[in-house]
Amino acid sequence: MLHEMPIITLPFAGEIYNLYVASSEEEKRQGLSGVDHIGRDEGMIFDYDDEKPRTFQFRDVCFPLAVYFIGANGKVLQKSTSSPYQAGLISCEKPCKWVIEIPVL
């Protein structure tokens, strides 16, 4: 499913990333779960129609991720880091429009 998703190229966090765009509810629910690995210049962007607090889980993700919660104005509201197969949730209480996940190197 991952390679069937559209990709955008985005300069972010001092690098240029090719981000898979998760826009459908199924794509957002699946995220990077079950993916064996992604390249150091790859990641995923979750695009939402609204701006509200978001919560993510990582129990089926086998590599660490930097998770950026971004407001409608394009500013990073919160940066968090997930661990491989992390049981706990990562939440942002501030309203955000996008979430970007990139590998931690």
Alpha-carbon span 74 to 25, nearest angstrom: 22
Please report the sign of the dihedral spanned by the C-alpha atoms of residue 61, residue 10, residue 8, residue 38. Answer: negative
Q: Check pLDDT > 80 for residue 3.
A: no
pLDDT tops 80 at residue 99: yes
pTM recorded for the entire structure: 0.94
pLDDT in tens, 43-98: 999 999 999 999 999 999 999 999 999 999 999 999 999 999 999 999 999 999 99
